[in-house]
């Protein structure tokens, strides 16, 4: 079983701030969030694409493999080898 966890909160906050600052530098009269947040979202999209390509790579990884399901007695059962969302005590 593979665990894929990436913390990119700081990178995303920096990208959003950079996009907003760039927009205000080019358009100092804009004060409506609908105007300046778009540029911040565009910067976040670029960072996420970069992280997906460089951290996860472009090949399929353990994080995006579909869970296989097995059929038993005419009913579909979850694969017992698939990771559980609930901790077992």
**DSSP code string of 13-53:** HHHHHHHHHHHHHH-TT---HHHHHHHHHHHHHHHHHHHII
pLDDT above 80: residue 68: no
What is the distance between the alpha carbons of residues 78 and 61, in angstroms, rounded to a whole number? 20
Q: Give per-residue pLDDT as tens, 51-61.
A: 888 877 764 55
34 torsion bin: left (phi>0), alpha (psi -120 to 50), beta (else): alpha
Percent of the chain surpassing pLDDT 90: 37
Confidence of residue 20 (pLDDT cuts 50, 70, 90): very high
What is the distance between the alpha carbons of residues 21 and 27, in angstroms, rounded to a whole number? 10
pLDDT above 50: residue 41: yes
pTM: 0.56
The residues near 83 (Cβ < 8 Å, ≥ 6 apart) are: 1
The predicted pLDDT at position 2 comes to 75
The residues near 60 (Cβ < 8 Å, ≥ 6 apart) are: none
Q: Give per-residue pLDDT as tens, 72-88.
A: 566 655 555 555 444 44
């Amino acid at each position: 079983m593979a665990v894929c966890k990436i913390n990119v909160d700081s990178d995303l906050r920096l990208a959003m701030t950079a996009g907003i600052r760039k927009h205000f530098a080019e358009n100092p009269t804009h004060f409506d969030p609908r105007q300046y947040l778009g540029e911040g979202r565009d910067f976040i999209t670029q960072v996420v694409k970069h992280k997906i390509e460089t951290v996860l790579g472009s090949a399929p990884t353990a994080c995006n493999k579909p869970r296989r399901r097995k059929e038993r007695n005419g009913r579909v059962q979850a694969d017992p080898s698939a990771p559980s969302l609930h901790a077992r005590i």
